[in-house]
Structure 1
Amino acid sequence: MIQLLTPTHWKDYELIDCGDFEKLERFGNVILIRPEPQAVWGKVLPQSEWQKLHHIKFKGRSATSGEWVKKNPSTPDRWHIEYKNPEIAIKFRLALTSFKHVGIFPEQAVNWDYSSQIIKKFKTPQPKVLNLFAYTGGASLAAQAAGADTTHVDSIKQVVSWGNENQELSSLSNIRWVVEDALKFVKREVKRGKKYNGIILDPPAYGHGPNGEKWKLEDHINEMMQDVVQLLDPDEHFLILNAYSLGFSSVIIENLIKGAYPRVQNLETGELYLQATSGVKLPLGVFGKFCKM
């Protein structure tokens, strides 16, 4: 069944409006304007309202980099926000990066909810969870806070260090931090006969490993899925595959999962979106997830 899912527990995040290839967002008390390639429609709120509300705007020099322009120089470059659902409470340090990101993808809270609920229901004490392409660790924090033994893998040392900061902010400990190419790590774990109760993947469209390895989603995701399902514990497991790529649909995700794991149970696929206060919906990727308990 194809679903449309949006986070419901955010207090510290709000998508206020989006359109004309931009989005107006509140992270805690800070309101940002950032580019958004999916927002091909017109803005709902008038431009004057956007100008009045925002504190900082990202102005791009290219498709991937730019600078932040503050209305008030005293507005902080770094600040903290919190996420809570009935199972967990985690915190994040946000920052203004040159790539228009701030250290979190708010729509992923839907997947944090799913993983934390499943982990709490597992009979396995301290189930093992693997988070691949893990960025600053939202999914890792959620799994650890729910009681998992979590391994966090990303190829960029700076974002892994950022994730460790978020762990400390969240009063958590003992996440295993790994700076490595995700596909290489998975192949090594398969050879070692390792098993995990939960696996989370949020691969980029393009990426590079720490030693120059190249990742291209459409070229490598099937190989990754064929390998990663070999790591699933046969008795209790879940898997989440998330993809933010303009060319990917939830049907592609369904085919990838069924092709790699024909005996899949409880498969759900669909699209993640953020509901703007102004009324419009912003699509932000497709997902597939399944569990066995």
Structure 2
Amino acid sequence: MDFSLWTCAFRGHETYAPDEPALAARLHVATPAGEAWRCLRCGDFAPGEPRRRGPADDAPEVPRGHLLRDRIIMRLLAAERVGRALVLILLAAGVLKLRSSQESWKSNWEQELPLIRQLADQIGWDPDHSKIVHWIDTAFTLSPTTLIWVAVALFAYAAIQLTEAVGLWLVKRWGEYFAVIATSIFLPLEIYELTEKVTFLRAAALIINLAAVIWLLWSKRLFGLNGGAKAYYAEHHSESLLTVERSAVAAEAKPAT
């Protein structure tokens, strides 16, 4: 898939008219239908007025090629982190609500449990050996103070997920480091849970997180890997179409030897 063309089809071409005449000449072409400017994202010429004008140094940074693909992947990871955070926030709110009416919830649960058992028999589920049922029963035995700490821990975990999401969505260097560190901390716990029982959700969560850590470490050159920060910034600079054209203008301006 050509992510540059796909993004241009969705958001429109990113054309820019630099003030420098020699550079503008390389990005502009006259056609029978009028002028056309080269898109900084996909490289094609788009007819009509440029979207923006100004000095070349003020041109927007437009990711293209595999850098654009990486940005899309990072934003998908950010969306997944937001989903996790919302689930954690809902759980924390449920814990706080349980604390305020613990006895009432326990009474309702005991009344509904026989109906749950009848349904479970029909679908072949054993609630007596279910961890969810066990957790619910345990929650009713916790003190109000303990429930507050559980809610605080869930809110804190949600905050970590949201911080990851913000950093990844904005494609910030600190967000890449934060995501790798925060995700790696919980990998041992996820592996331990799989040793107790393998489920689809647990396995999927571990695979996603492990793949995200490895991909971020290598592709974003974190902690000195794959060339480190110097190679990371050089890659971003060299991928810019405007940078390529400026280099071409500079090469043409050099006197022949």
Give me the TM-score of the superposition, normalised by structure 1. 0.26
| Greater helix proportion | 2
| Greater strand proportion | 1
Give me the TM-score of the superposition, normalised by structure 2. 0.29
